[in-house]
């Protein structure tokens, strides 16, 4: 049976249901979103003279919930226009429409009786063979299927999305013993390729995998507070990015999720767990009970572990003192142990530094991680038979960079076992058996990551990765060249990959050297070049620190040479004799965006945030970005077209430093090219697809583009628009006087200079204009102030 998902229904338009609906709309699927009907008129409806059975009244609840979801930040939709892919309705008037749907997702309140009542109604209307899944996070699947038909049960399972569904990658699939295997195979494939998820199949145990382990880890932190006496700020410093976890760390995460939600899960776990040796960890500490009693639940109630207030018109964030339960100014936290840890560039090496020693911080980490290691090892085979699923679930669902077993391995499994025993933490017997065989949790073999299989005492390849190209799996064996900032890796089939690994992947001399070397190797010994990396972001742009230093020292000739080198390198990318593919993701700003604009094709991950943001630091794009916008504008202008409209759109993208909130929006802003560049939803498949795109270009017969000498620029026609627009914005106090100055500098380059009429110019001509304007702006005090603000405070200054 070949399943096609053309239309789905989401039943329940709450926080999760509405966002799940949005994510399916993101991938081009028609969605029916239903919720409870409104029974009574509100004041607005009464004044409008509506009757209780009017559709606007009946659908008020779902309409309001959906509207609220579309206003969430970060946005659940790739583009606002995708709202037209979602139709709303209510359970009483519109449930029959699920007969048209290929998949029905239930996302209503966590109440077994109410869910079962809804399932009875679903059975009356669903078409035979359609998928039925639940987004439950806690009710056993086995209980949900009681009393259901054979076809319903065979096509039913849990599909547990994590909030927010667009951004958190995890999708847990929980079958019942009667779920068809074909359903599980389909959902795994669909979830990965179409929804961009890391799909983890789970056993039907309390809280499944991610919440079982993630909530255990959070509760462990709570219980360690009494022992170590750390403050709220200190705990968030200890459990944040330094150990590969989100900036929200522990307490800020609680505030965002809602303390009541966390307590609900923890209490349910403590009730449900009978044979869990660590079930007492799920007991609610006194300070949490006190906060619950005061309704200090986090963002939803305006205060939790943190509280935002306004003093003298300025926002200030206070933190909760866990002894006095009073809010106080946030204290700056500094740990001496962090200095040594920060000097270690790779996270997997950092844990050895943080856990070594007898300081208060060292002991906190030892207890936190040794307890976690023992816990996850003892959860097998209870929650899963496969250890990699625990790592994948916690990384994808809680945004950890490394999972528990990966962290354990980085410390040395055998060595850590002895330390754990000395502190009273007992790992599962299978770990000791594994160590006796001189094995570990993972190994790399022939470019594939394999995990230790407890049942066979042998390594198995992680399913679904056999045909994927993943840099983490081949970097150690396939790197053919590297320096401090970049590496070139052989992907096979004549394709090489250039990877960045500077801080934030900012582009400096090492990466420029890497680009030139990659082009040289691709042209001489290989067939094509892909530029991708597995960092958090593709590139945050050029190294502003270097530019600022040269400008402060008034080394303007050297600065001119640096910019010229960057421009020439971008031209080498554009006119290389082999296909060049960029595969960006995350922040792709400034120079990173310019790099992509000079490649033959961009295979962008859906979560790519592109923008030419240079005006924010007081300069214009000078790595060919402004030139490329002029070139693309020239190609778009048709005879009798209103040229200034297109010019305005291009100008505003750069002038307002617009950053796309998805790869799809990058097309609208002009950073990506329609009918040339592509978007892929799955990050895991991105590099594999980029490599295939390069091979396809070769198969078709690749011919590099010719240098462009006939770029049509508007001259005074474009400049007039810039001057009038900038004047109006300044008069209206929308921009500063210096913003206006920057706008004019940008407008001059985009218009092709101060020409009296439209003309045709070359790329070199525009690049010279770019570079001259850039260096000229670097001599301005206000530009230097903007750069300094970004470098020292991480903030954009509007002076």
Digit-coded pLDDT (tens) for 402-461: 999 999 999 999 999 999 999 999 999 999 999 999 999 999 999 999 999 999 999 999
Taking each helix axis from N to C end, the angle separating 181-193 and 683-700, rounded to the nearest 10 degrees, works out to 70
Give the model's confidence band at 517: pLDDT under 50 very low, under 70 low, under 90 confident, else very high: very high
Residue 639 has pLDDT above 70, yes or no: no
The pLDDT > 90 percentage for the chain reads 92
Determine the pLDDT at residue 645.
Answer: 83
Digit-coded pLDDT (tens) for 193-229: 999 999 999 999 999 999 999 999 999 999 999 899 9
Determine the pLDDT at residue 240.
Answer: 96
CA distances in angstroms from 10 to 94, 166, 775, listed in the order given: 12, 15, 55
**CATH topology for the 210-461 domain:** 1.10.1040
Digit-coded pLDDT (tens) for 227-256: 999 999 999 999 999 999 999 999 999 999
Q: State the CATH architecture for 7-201.
A: 3-Layer(aba) Sandwich (3.40)
Mean pLDDT to the nearest integer, 490-517: 97
Q: Where are the domains of the chain?
A: 7-201, 210-461, 472-706
The edge-to-edge listing of strands for the beta sheet with 7-11 is: 86-90, 30-35, 7-11, 103-106, 131-134, 156-161, 170-175, 198-201
Digit-coded pLDDT (tens) for 652-683: 999 999 999 999 999 999 999 999 999 999 99
Exposed e or buried b per residue across 653-686, where buried means at least 16 C-beta atoms within 10 angstroms of its C-beta: bbbbbbbbbbbbbbbbbbbbbeeebebbbbbbbb
Give the model's confidence band at 640: pLDDT under 50 very low, under 70 low, under 90 confident, else very high: low
Give the model's confidence band at 345: pLDDT under 50 very low, under 70 low, under 90 confident, else very high: confident
Determine the pLDDT at residue 377.
Answer: 98
Determine the pLDDT at residue 788.
Answer: 96
CB contact at 8 A, 472 and 449: yes
Digit-coded pLDDT (tens) for 58-100: 999 999 999 999 999 999 999 999 999 999 999 999 999 999 9
> Which of 14-28, 43-57, 441-455, 470-484 comes out lowest in average pLDDT?
43-57
Give the model's confidence band at 138: pLDDT under 50 very low, under 70 low, under 90 confident, else very high: confident
Determine the pLDDT at residue 638.
Answer: 64
Name 9's Cβ contacts closer than 8 Å, sequence gap at least 6: 31, 32, 33, 34, 97, 98, 101, 103, 104, 105
Residue 360 has pLDDT above 70, yes or no: yes
Give the model's confidence band at 339: pLDDT under 50 very low, under 70 low, under 90 confident, else very high: confident
The superfamily in CATH containing domain 472-706 is 2-enoyl-CoA Hydratase; Chain A, domain 1 (3.90.226.10)
pTM: 0.95
Determine the pLDDT at residue 531.
Answer: 99
Two structure tokens written together for 217: 């880890």
Give the model's confidence band at 312: pLDDT under 50 very low, under 70 low, under 90 confident, else very high: confident
Provide the CA 363 distance to its chain's centre, in angstroms.
Answer: 32
Work out the angle at residue 107's Cα, subtended by the Cα atoms of residues 104 and 112, and round it to the nearest 5 degrees: 105
Report the chain's C-alpha Rg in angstroms: 28
Residue 354 has pLDDT above 70, yes or no: yes
Give the model's confidence band at 641: pLDDT under 50 very low, under 70 low, under 90 confident, else very high: low
- Three-state SS at 157: strand
Domains 210-461 and 472-706 share a fold: no
């Amino acid at each position: 049976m070949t399943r096609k998902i053309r239309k789905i229904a989401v039943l329940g338009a709450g926080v999760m249901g509405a966002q799940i609906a949005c994510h399916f709309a993101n991938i081009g699927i028609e969605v029916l979103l239903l919720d409870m009907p409104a029974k009574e008129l509100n004041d607005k409806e009464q004044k409008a003279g509506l009757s209780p059975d009017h559709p606007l009244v009946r659908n008020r609840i779902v309409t309001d919930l959906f509207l609220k979801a579309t206003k969430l930040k970060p946005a659940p939709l790739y583009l606002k226009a995708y709202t037209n892919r979602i139709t709303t309705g209510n359970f009483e008037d519109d449930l029959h429409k699920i007969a048209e749907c290929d998949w029905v997702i239930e996302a209503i309140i966590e109440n077994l009786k109410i869910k079962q009542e809804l399932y009875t109604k679903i059975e009356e209307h669903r078409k035979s063979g359609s998928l039925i899944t639940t987004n439950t996070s806690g009710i056993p699947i086995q209980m949900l299927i009681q009393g259901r038909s054979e076809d319903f049960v065979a096509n039913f399972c849990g599909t547990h999305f994590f909030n927010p569904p667009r951004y958190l990658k995890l999708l847990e699939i929980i079958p019942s013993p009667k779920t068809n295997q074909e359903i599980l195979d389909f959902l795994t494939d669909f979830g990965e390729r179409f929804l961009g998820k890391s799909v983890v199949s789970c056993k039907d145990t309390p809280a499944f995998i991610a919440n079982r382990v993630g909530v255990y880890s959070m509760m462990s932190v709570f219980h360690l507070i009494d022992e170590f006496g750390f403050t709220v700020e200190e705990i968030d410093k200890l459990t944040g990015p330094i150990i590969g976890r989100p900036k929200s760390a522990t307490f800020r995460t609680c505030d965002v999720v809602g303390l009541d939600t966390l307590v609900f899960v923890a209490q349910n776990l403590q009730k449900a767990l009978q044979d869990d040796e660590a079930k007492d960890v799920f007991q609610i500490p006194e300070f949490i009970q006190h906060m619950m009693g005061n309704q200090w639940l986090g963002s939803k109630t305006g205060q939790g572990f943190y509280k935002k207030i306004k003093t003298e018109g300025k926002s200030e964030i206070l933190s909760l003192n866990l002894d006095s339960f009073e809010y106080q100014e946030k204290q700056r936290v500094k740990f001496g142990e962090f200095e040594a840890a920060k000097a270690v560039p790779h996270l997997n090496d950092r844990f050895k530094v943080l856990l070594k020693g007898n300081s208060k911080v060292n002991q906190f980490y030892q207890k936190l991680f040794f307890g976690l290691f023992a816990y996850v090892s003892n959860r097998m085979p209870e929650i899963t038979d496969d250890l990699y699923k625990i790592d994948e679930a916690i990384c994808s669902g809680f945004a950890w960079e490394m999972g528990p077993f990966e962290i354990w391995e980085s410390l040395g499994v055998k060595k850590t076992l002895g330390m754990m025993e000395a502190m009273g933490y007992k790992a599962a017997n299978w770990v000791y058996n594994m160590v006796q065989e001189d094995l570990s949790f993972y190994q790399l073999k022939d470019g594939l990551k394999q995990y230790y299989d407890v049942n066979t005492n042998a390594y198995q390849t992680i399913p679904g990765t056999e045909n994927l190209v993943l840099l983490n799996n081949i970097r150690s064996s396939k790197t053919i060249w590297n320096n401090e900032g970049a590496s070139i890796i052989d992907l096979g089939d004549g394709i090489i990959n250039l990877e960045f690994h500077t801080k934030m992947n900012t582009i400096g001399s090492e990466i420029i050297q890497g680009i030139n070397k990659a082009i040289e190797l691709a042209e001489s010994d290989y067939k094509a070049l892909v530029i991708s990396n597995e960092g958090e972001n593709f590139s945050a742009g050029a190294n502003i620190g270097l530019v600022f230093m040269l400008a402060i020292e008034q080394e303007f000739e050297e600065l001119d040479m640096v910019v010229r080198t960057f421009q020439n390198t971008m031209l080498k990318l554009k006119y290389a004799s082999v296909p060049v593919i960029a595969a960006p993701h995350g922040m792709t700003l400034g120079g990173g965006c310019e790099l992509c604009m000079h490649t033959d094709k961009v295979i962008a991950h859906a979560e790519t945030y592109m923008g030419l943001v240079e005006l924010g630091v007081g300069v214009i794009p000078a790595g060919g970005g402004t030139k490329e916008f002029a070139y693309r504008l020239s190609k778009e202008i048709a005879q009798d077209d209103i040229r200034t409209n297109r010019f305005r759109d291009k100008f505003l993208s750069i002038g307002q430093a617009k950053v796309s909130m998805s790869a799809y929006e990058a097309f609208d802003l002009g950073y990506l090219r329609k009918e040339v560049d592509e978007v892929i939803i799955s990050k895991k498949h991105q590099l594999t697809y980029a490599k295939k795109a390069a091979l396809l270009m070769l198969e078709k017969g690749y011919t590099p583009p010719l240098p462009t000498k006939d770029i049509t620029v508007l001259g005074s026609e474009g400049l007039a628009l810039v001057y009038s627009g900038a004047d109006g914005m300044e008069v209206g106090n929308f921009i500063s006087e210096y913003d206006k100055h920057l706008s004019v500098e940008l407008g001059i380059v985009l218009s092709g200079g101060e020409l009296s009429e439209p003309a045709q110019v070359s790329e070199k001509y525009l690049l010279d204009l770019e570079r001259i304007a850039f260096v000229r702006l670097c001599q301005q005090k206000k530009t230097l102030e903007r750069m300094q603000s970004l470098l020292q405070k991480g903030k954009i200054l509007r002076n």
